[in-house]
Amino acid sequence: MTETSSVGFDLFDVERLVLSEAVEPSLSSHDAEARDRVWEMAVRANPALFDGPVVACGGVEWVAPRVLRLSWVPVTYRHYALRRVPGATALGSLFVNVVQPSNGERVAVARMSPSTAAPGRWQLPGGSVEPPAAGAALDELSLAGHAARELAEEMGVDVAAEDLRLSAVTRGGNSSVGLTYIAPELPEEALREGFAAVAAAERARGREPELDELVLVSSSADLSGLPGPHADYLEPVLRRHFERR
């Protein structure tokens, strides 16, 4: 069920998720103060950072063949500053991403803008998961809904959550867990038009778009031609995708 495993990275072949909420681990006053200092320094360096609500991953475990239980914890982005506090333990982030096929044999890959938390990083469209509204559940459909919203906000592609298929779950650096979905295929022209429209709308509001370049790759080997950092999941996820076509 762990299809790909290497030092510090796992790719799980999953058919179904079971979600359970957990609580954020308590912190000593020393770690909390150190976390806040690190966060404040990060904000001074990049004022675009904000301490909004986000979902962290408390852990994953198999409960049946190809059925993975994922515990989630409501935190804020400040929590991840613990990664830079010696001796402190931070939960892994939980994020979604989307394999967007185009013209049969290619997949969209995009680069993060300089103003983001990961400037210049190549990745799939996607982002962090936000906690559900009061009284709402975080379940498989709502997670797919997060992926659909990221695709619309970053790529200008509108797709229903029900039309996204969970392809894999990854666990990489800092125990971060990613949920990879596959979207229906679209023509390249439609992808580029949507991407350009999102960028233009953001700049019209006086903001830089989150993604500043879009390329289509036809194999995981094509990633070697993209200069700069790559998300740790990018090559394994795309290699698996192209092998299964």
- Mean pLDDT over all residues of the chain? 94
Q: Please give the model's pTM, rounded to 2 decimal places.
A: 0.94
- Smallest CA-to-CA distance from 110 within 24, 212, 183, 204 is with 212
Structure tokens at 218: 């036809």
**Does residue 76 contact residue 52 with C-beta atoms inside 8 Å?**
yes
List pLDDT tens digits, range 8-37.
799 999 999 999 999 999 999 999 999 999
Report the share of the chain in percent with pLDDT over 90: 87
pLDDT of residue 86: 96
List pLDDT tens digits, range 49-88.
899 999 999 999 999 999 999 999 999 999 999 999 999 9
- Torsion 53-54-59-60 (CA) sign: positive
pLDDT of residue 223: 97
Domain ranges of the chain: 2-244
List pLDDT tens digits, range 208-220.
999 999 999 999 9
The answer on pLDDT for 3 being more than 70 is: no
Exposed/middle/buried for residue 245 (C-beta within 10 Å: 0-12, 13-18, 19+): exposed
pLDDT of residue 7: 60
CATH superfamily for domain 2-244: Nucleoside Triphosphate Pyrophosphohydrolase (3.90.79.10)
